[in-house]
Amino acid sequence: MTDIDVLLQEHRKFPPPDAFARAANVSDPGIYERAAKDYEAFWAGCARELEWSKPFSRVLEWKPPRATWFRDGELNASVNCVDRHARGARRDKPALVWEGEPGDTLTLTYAQLLDQVCRFASVLDSLGVKKGDRVAIYLPMIPEAAIAMLGCARIGAVHSVVFGGFSAESLRDRIVDAQAKVLITADGGFRRGHVVPLKKNADDAIAETPTIEHVVVVRRTKEPIGGSPASMKAGRDQWWHDLMAKASASRPATAMNAEDILFTLYTSGTTGKPKGIVHTTGGYLTQCAYTTKAIFDLKEDDVYWCTADVGWVTGHTYIVYGPLANGATCLMYEGAPDWPAKDRFWELCEKYGVTIFYTAPTAIRAFMKWGAQHAKKHDLSKLRLLGSVGEPINPEAWMWYREHIGGDRCPIVDTWWQTETGATMISPLPGITKTTPGSATVAFPGIFAELLDNNAKRIDVGGGLLAITKPWPGMLRTIWGDDERYVRTYFSKWPGRPDLYFPGDGAKRDDDGYFWILGRVDDVLNVAGHRIGTMEVESALVDHPSVAEAAVVGKAHELKGQALAAFVTLREGTKPTTELNVELREHVANKIGAIAKPDDIIFSADLPKTRSGKIMRRLLRDIAEGRTLGDTTTLADPAVVAALRDQYEGLES
Ligand code: WTA
């Protein structure tokens, strides 16, 4: 892998600037040792920074692979994120500062946010939603998304947010799996000047979901829905603004046990079906709040901006729960970075005086490609800290980010974590850690990360499988409706060691003990920071009447990190045409969402298989990336590969 060679040559180190280190929320390197010595006491200390209606007396119970944290404590996430600030000095402090893609704006102070969250909680009451019921949320990046999440949290309903870019079918599958009772959506959302027809998708999804009783619709785009404004279904659909206007603004929070479920969030796995990752209240909120405070060094006057979408875990943890638990001012933006122009993000940073900026490597690579002139047009001098998440960041992109966005002065925190981990696990502490371009550096205090070989033997320097060796507060508790899969996927990698969590990533450790995440070792791809299971895309392709068989692999992509290449065998009598190629890509977009559209579709009379009939994806990857072919001796029919390769080269030229 050429990437590894580049990484090996990386010796640049950037210590925290003195002034930053002196003022940092966490500046004592002794924190690592203290946390390692007694990680339960460390996390208990972090948990006590939250407000508990009933304090916990027990910290951790660990019967691998099952953990509970703060088991006998009670708290409510919305109280921690809103009430406790609205009650005090932060009452009139902006909590959410929002800008829509067309340029409309809204600021909600903590007091106003509390009013909205209480009203929405009352709306849920009036719709018959009870503690433990699931509520699906399918919204654009508008304040209502955060209000809906916090409203669910207030009454103990389990939210299941579905990314607004997903198709009707993806939404349907998630609603069905969660058996959600209520769906919160909008008439539409704006994306690059177009309207995304969310309500129409929602209608298509609900047609095949027996459990939805009510749909609450935010009026966002004011476009006619499904061709006419009349498609609100009587008895089922109601407007958000109508319900909110009538709702009570005082709704006490329901006390939740620390181990009660806060939310589920679906993520791609190696086999077909997305997994509903289950997070509970006390442990999740503890790690979420404390990592936000320590890694982003949040101070009272910061203006914090995480550019993720609430539909992903980054949006849950580092747009909603983490920053609000810390009483921060968060910028939220609805649209794309290049609309109406390629300087939109920098215009927003200047306009709102953003001080902390958190984005994904795929975005940074796009900014690099567009050129530094867009950032130069704007005053970015308020920025003091930059973050990166979602995939490995290439050292060149890291250096570009540092120089052109961070003015060579802002520390960069490259944060490694997953939907399953709930919050950050490996990351620099900006006031302590010497950073190096491309490395997420070291495990967060109180987190135990190691590299292991296949026999669970520790690797000190070199490459191996990433493992988390002790439980952590924000860890997933199970997979919704499929507990057996929880054990099999995450705690069965090393036989006889149900205490070792396997995240599915490969990594390398250098002489300083720094981690370099190399990416997935399973069949999950990381396209533009989003996890996509190759199986899901293959199933979507095979679902098309013309397709007999499909194999999807990842290939390196300049901007997206990885892109999808699909090798497709057509049914007897179907001709491979350019139109069919386009149609298949659209078909995948309709089944899953545009993010899963393959870049290349290669029609092939056959796929390279072993004599036992297994598709040799390794060879397909070699073909897709134009490499010399690896070992082909196990191939059933070597001619298949030669033919594919000729075809692929024809496509590239
Ligand atoms: C990858 C996103 C390298 C990794 C928070 C992980 C990263 C998957 C990094 C989780 C990083 C995330 N460096 N790789 N800083 N952060 N990843 O669940 O492969 O959407 O397993 O959570 O993204 O993706 P997920």
- Mind giving me the DSSP string for 450-497? EEE-TTS-B-SSEEEEEEE-S--TT---EETT-HHHHHHHHS-SSTT-
Alpha carbon distance 13, 21 (integer Å): 15
Q: Where are the domains of the chain?
A: 12-76+262-268+279-446+477-491, 528-652
Give the position of tokens 């979901």.
209
Contact 413, 385 (CB under 8 A): yes
CB neighbourhood size of 378 (10 A)? 15
CB of 312 within 6 A of ligand 1: the answer is yes
* CA 416 to ligand 1 centroid distance, Å: 6
* CA 361 to ligand 1 centroid distance, Å: 11
Ligand 1 atom with minimal separation from the 530 CA: 20
Q: Which residues contact 449 (CB under 8 A, 6 or more apart)?
A: 425, 426, 443, 466, 467, 468, 469, 515
Ligand 1 atom with minimal separation from the 267 CA: 18
DSSP tag of 409: T
What percent of the chain shows pLDDT beyond 70? Answer: 96
Q: How many helices (H) and strands (E) does the chain have?
A: 23, 30
Q: Which of 365, 435, 373 is nearest to 400 (CA)?
A: 365
* CATH numeric code, 12-76+262-268+279-446+477-491: 3.40.50.12780
CB of 562 within 6 A of ligand 1: the answer is no
CB of 554 within 6 A of ligand 1: the answer is no
Ligand 1 atom with minimal separation from the 427 CA: 15
CB of 424 within 6 A of ligand 1: the answer is no
Give the position of tokens 């709702």.
247
pLDDT tens figures, 16-37: 999 999 999 999 999 999 999 9
| pLDDT score for 340 | 94
* CA 474 to ligand 1 centroid distance, Å: 15
CB neighbourhood size of 5 (10 A)? 8
Q: 104 falls in which pLDDT band (50, 70, 90)?
A: very high
CB of 416 within 6 A of ligand 1: the answer is yes
φ, ψ (nearest 5 deg) of residue 570: -90, 160
The tokens describing 351, both together, are 């306009």
The tokens describing 516, both together, are 């370099």
Average pLDDT (519-541) is 85
216, containing H or E segment: strand 214-218
* CA 308 to ligand 1 centroid distance, Å: 13
Amino acid type, 576: P
pLDDT at 505 > cutoff 90: yes
Is residue 508 packed enough to be buried (19+ CB in 10 Å), middle (13-18) or exposed (0-12)? buried
Please tell me the pTM assigned to this model.
0.92
Which residue's alpha carbon is nearest to atom 8 within ligand 1?
418
CB of 505 within 6 A of ligand 1: the answer is yes
Amino acid type, 96: L
Q: 230 falls in which pLDDT band (50, 70, 90)?
A: very low
CB of 526 within 6 A of ligand 1: the answer is yes
Alpha carbon distance 22, 15 (integer Å): 13
The tokens describing 251, both together, are 């709704």
pLDDT at 609 > cutoff 90: no
pLDDT tens figures, 413-463: 999 999 999 999 999 999 999 999 999 999 999 999 999 999 999 999 999
| pLDDT score for 577 | 93
Alpha carbon distance 342, 372 (integer Å): 10
Strands of the sheet with 462-468, listed across from one edge? 449-452, 462-468, 505-509, 515-520
CB of 415 within 6 A of ligand 1: the answer is yes
Ligand 1 atom with minimal separation from the 420 CA: 18
* CATH numeric code, 528-652: 3.30.300.30
Would you mind telling me the total number of residues written for the chain in this entry?
653
* CA 390 to ligand 1 centroid distance, Å: 4
Q: Of the ranges 360-374, 398-412, 546-560, 619-633, which is most confident?
A: 398-412
Give the position of tokens 């018959």.
128
| pLDDT score for 3 | 39
